[in-house]
Amino acid sequence: MENIIEKMFKRCFEDKKWKQAIGVALESRRLDKVKDAIEQSNDQIEENLGYTFDIAQNIIKSKSFRTDVLKILLLIYQKRTDSGDFDHYKIAKCQFYLSMPDSTALMLEKIVKVKEGNSFLNAYQIAFDICDKENQTYQKEVLDILTKALDKYDHPDDESTRARIVQMCTILKGEIRDRLYLQFLKKNNHTDVQFIMNIKKAIGPKSSILHGATVWANGMMNAFTTNDSFIKDNIAWVGNATNWNRFNATASLGIIHSGNKAKSLEILQPYFTGAP
């Protein structure tokens, strides 16, 4: 069986059928052949790296074997610096799946230290990508390492590098993403206030279930938009909610202002019992 597999590898390499070679190598767990097939594919190396990465993430079930494959891919990506083709995005993605925040932080720091060109923009984009992955632990670890790195850049000659790292830290905190997200949703909010007002008039004053449903519907219609005009204009009516519906009314305000962290306490202050 081993001889048959070796002949298959030899034929795939001779015919330059790199994807078939990678597939057979992954099935037979021959990491050495995976590495050889990718490195020898020359102008197709980028395509085959992506192909192998997709297989590792979507098809390979064994976590330990998937980790070994990703380590091989990361090694190949990093070796490509000699050719001048350094794919920071793919490297960061491999580091994320391998849980290597220290390596990611070091790479981002190196990128922003380059004074020529606009390579620092790549670092900003990677920072945004880390935020979008929704892994708060990884995000915080990268942020903490970069924050500590700021102490090394107190010299006036390092002012631009320090400013770029500060900007990256701001991105990793999610502040810029949240602000842009809120601006976009607020600008593109086309909620029909008259529609919810008509529902309010139709349900009457005595149905607590419909009252709560109307308040909740308003929250869902205006989610993330910071548009709480209906609640403010009808505060007395909303205040008629009792028991669990009163909690729901306050929670719907949280839905409307979700992501508006800067003003969260100011918005919720009137709803805290005994608040000064």
- The reported pLDDT for the residue numbered 117 is 76
Nearest alpha carbon to residue 33 among 50, 54, 17, 57:
17
Structural contact between residues 101 and 141, judged by C-beta atoms closer than 8 angstroms: yes
180 is a domain residue? no
Q: What is the pLDDT of residue 124?
A: 92
In the three-class reduction of DSSP (H, G, I as helix; E, B as strand; rest coil), residue 234 is classed as: coil
Give me the mean pLDDT over the 260-270 stretch.
Answer: 75
pLDDT of the residue at 273? 57
Whether 222 and 191 have beta carbons less than 8 Å apart is answered as yes
Q: Is 167 exposed, middle or buried (0-12, 13-18, 19+ CB in 10 A)?
A: middle
Distance, CA of 93 to CA of 97 (rounded, Å): 6
pLDDT at 275: 44
* Containing structural domain, residue 248: 193-271
Number of domains making up the chain: 3
Residues 219, 222: Cα–Cα separation, whole Å: 5
Count Cβ atoms below 10 Å from residue 60 Cβ, excluding itself: 18
Phi-psi category of 189—alpha, beta or left, where left has phi over 0 and alpha has psi -120 to 50? Answer: beta
- What average pLDDT is seen over the chain? 85
Does residue 25 sit within a domain?
A: yes
Both tokens assigned to 172: 């990793």
The verdict on 50 and 77 lying in the same domain is yes
Closest of 173, 144, 176, 146 to residue 162, by C-alpha: 146
Separation of alpha carbons 40 and 149, rounded Å:
38
Domain end residue (candidates: 69, 85, 101): 85
Q: Tell me what pLDDT residue 276 has.
A: 44
pLDDT digits (tens, 9 = 90+) for 56-103: 888 998 989 999 999 999 888 877 655 555 678 888 888 988 889 999
Residues 200 and 221 in one domain: yes
Q: Which tens digit of pLDDT belongs to each residue from 110-160?
A: 888 887 778 889 899 999 999 887 588 999 999 999 999 888 888 888 888
